[in-house]
Structure 1
């Protein structure tokens, strides 16, 4: 299993971000080829030191790193990436990696 971890930093307007993210961006991302599962954080994203600069964490699950790369390179992946500029005004970081159960 491989994961694409998306960290959305605090936006200028949380209500505008949330409305757009769930109504528009999530449906786009759910069309990514090879996507197996998609979940998001709920409530505040905190660190051991307290509040963080992260508003929302999205985790997208795929079979492999190659599947993530193929999804991001697809027409759906390019449309999803372009859409980030429409709402993620606080910034966004993407990380992808393989996982193993321990």
Structure 2
């Protein structure tokens, strides 16, 4: 199994980020053909400090080819092209193999 991991840095305005992410971006992301989509918001570190990152989304696919097909689709491209509309704290995208 393969997953696409999208990690968002702390945005300039968390209220604006959350509103856009929940009302617009997640609707686009949910249209991507994947086996599972998980999102989370970091709340801190074990020692009580502010987390380095703000949010994370993980999209799971059966194979790397499935991921590539899904992300090349109209739905995948719409979600990717939407990221600059709200990710003012930067974003890092990685592909991981689940072992």
**Structure with greater proportional strand content:** 1
Global fold match (TM > 0.5): yes
1:37-76 aligned within 5 A: 37-46=36-45, 50-76=49-75
TM-score (norm 1): 0.86
1:22-33 aligned within 5 A: 22-33=22-33
- Which whole-Å deviations, capped at 9, do the CAs of 1:42-97 have from their partners, x for residues lacking one? 44153779433310011111111111111111111111111001100111000112
Identify the residue that residue 4 of structure 1 maps to in structure 2.
4
- Which whole-Å deviations, capped at 9, do the CAs of 1:15-41 have from their partners, x for residues lacking one? 1101110111111011112x1111111
Unaligned runs of 5+ in 2: none
Identify the residue that residue 97 of structure 2 maps to in structure 1.
98
Identify the residue that residue 76 of structure 2 maps to in structure 1.
77
CA RMSD of aligned residues (A): 1.8
